Amino acid sequence: MNKSLLIKKLSYRSNYRGCKETDLLLGQFTKNHLAKLTDRQLEEYDYLLNQPDLEIYNAFINPESAPDNLKELSIWELLVS
């Protein structure tokens, strides 16, 4: 898949997840960072989007207690900053 198409797909998935709070958090991230991510970071973001909404939301609200599988992502600091 070409990068432009992948970015569109990830952006859509970020904004229409089903949980409005998570949509807002991830939507803001995509607006600010998605186009600048490397291919590897885009893969990590895709991995993140495959996690349950509640897990993502709780990780944003309380980053210190986020699961290790999220904290180990190279994009983690961008996500919670």
Q: Using N-to-C axis directions, what is the helix angle for 39-49 and 3-15, rounded to 10°?
A: 30
Report how far residue 81's alpha carbon sits from residue 78's, in angstroms, rounded to the nearest whole number.
Answer: 5
Q: What is the pTM for the complete model shown?
A: 0.91
| CATH number of the 3-80 domain | 1.10.150.250
Q: What integer pLDDT is reported at residue 1 of this predicted model?
A: 74
Q: Give the gyration radius of the chain's Cα atoms.
A: 12
Q: What is the pLDDT of residues 30-80, one digit of tens each?
A: 999 999 999 999 999 999 999 999 999 999 999 999 999 999 999 999 998
DSSP state of 63: G
Q: What integer pLDDT is reported at residue 48 of this predicted model?
A: 96
